[in-house]
Structure 1
Amino acid sequence: MQIRIPGLHVDLRDWQLADLEQYRSWMTPKQRWKELDGPYYPLPPAEAVEAQVAHMRMQIENNSYPTIRSVLVISDRNTDNFLGIVSWNWESEETHWPTVGIVIFDPAYWNQGLGFEALGLWSDYLFYALPTIARLDLRTWSGNKGMMRLAEKLGYQLEARFRKARTFNGTYYDGLGYGILREEWAARYPRGMANYLQEQLRKAPDTSYRPAS
């Protein structure tokens, strides 16, 4: 069964065949998103991207998604167009310690509150789908001011600062670790992120309301 998690302006959903060519095109050099999303790490080589696309195609065609998704697509609520992805992996599977990630590829969709919706819905999903976890982590660097604001506005707390741990274009930046506990998330969004977004919409007379990005 496919997953679709609706927000106000974006959905989180499983991959579709129409997404694959767009994803492939964003995984090429000299994209603006990569200047913010771990630019100190190289992009995967073309053959690795092709293997990943082939794997995703197989999942789509066979409807063989994992029970607990490791990646979901961020899509435009009105057009269903592919905008980016949310993901997670284990920092330590032995201690039930996951780390989350998000990227919106097209700069035309930045600074509109879409990341707040997408990462909020994703955090909700993971706390539900992974009942043994006590926390979620988010890792970034001091050169990505947008991700720092996003983490803080969702309620993630800055828990670690590794000074001058990242270099980009000859400049040192700090590595940053954010986290939120299950009980902190539940207190902040007691009825879930989707309901929180609806409540904020009802409070805003302007129907073009965008949540904090």
Structure 2
Amino acid sequence: MIKEYDNIKVIGFDADDTLWVNETYFREAEEAFGKLLSDYETPNKIDQELFKMEIRNLPIYGYGVKAFVLSMVQSALELSNYNVSHKTIEEILNIGKRMLEKPVELLDGVEEVLKVLSKKYRLILATKGDLLDQERKLEKSGLTSYFHHIEVLSDKQEINYSKLLNHLEVKPSEFLMIGNSLKSDVLPLVNIGAHAVHVPFHTTWAHEEVTEKDTNGKTYKTISSLRDVIKLFE
């Protein structure tokens, strides 16, 4: 076992793109949205404007599919100069419904890792997004029994994690977070004195990207597969 993990008592897992596929479905939805609005703008311009709208709406709607759909509708109205048809708006809503109805596709090794670690550590799920959608995905995943605590956060900043650890009555030095996002699952934990493991996913939302300057001097582990987590504790 890695020496700095000797004091670990609680291990937290991100959900989307750490335990199951998520961002891939957003990329597919963006492509479908681009085709719907192709009479008004180029695909690149549509992507840019949709992203700007999502960021603008984050403080109001938060994260998740429903927030994404609202941003698509608003973008469609603005990009079309409010000429978009009712039928197109309906199809945008259908894109969102199809996203919410997607099956939960577990990533490689997820259940094996949870099964091994749950024998020795208290596991928690710490994710952000829409509460109803995340509860639905967790239920469909069949993983609920592995987690001692489940937390759907409005955001994943240092203050959110500090409140969570206080609620769990665990010191930062006793906590390890595992996730695919450096911005949300790694750097905030390192900054409050906890441990973190980065498991990259092949697709990352632009809002979650960080620069080399952001990670410079930060101590965390990066592994290529969730299965490698087990090796860290052997």
TM-score by length of 1: 0.29
- The structure with the greater share of residues assigned to strand is 1
Considering only CA atoms, is the larger Rg found in Structure 1 or Structure 2?
2
> TM-score under structure 2 normalisation?
0.27
More helix per residue:
2
Which structure is richer in relative contact order (CA contacts within 8 A, separation 6 or more)? 2
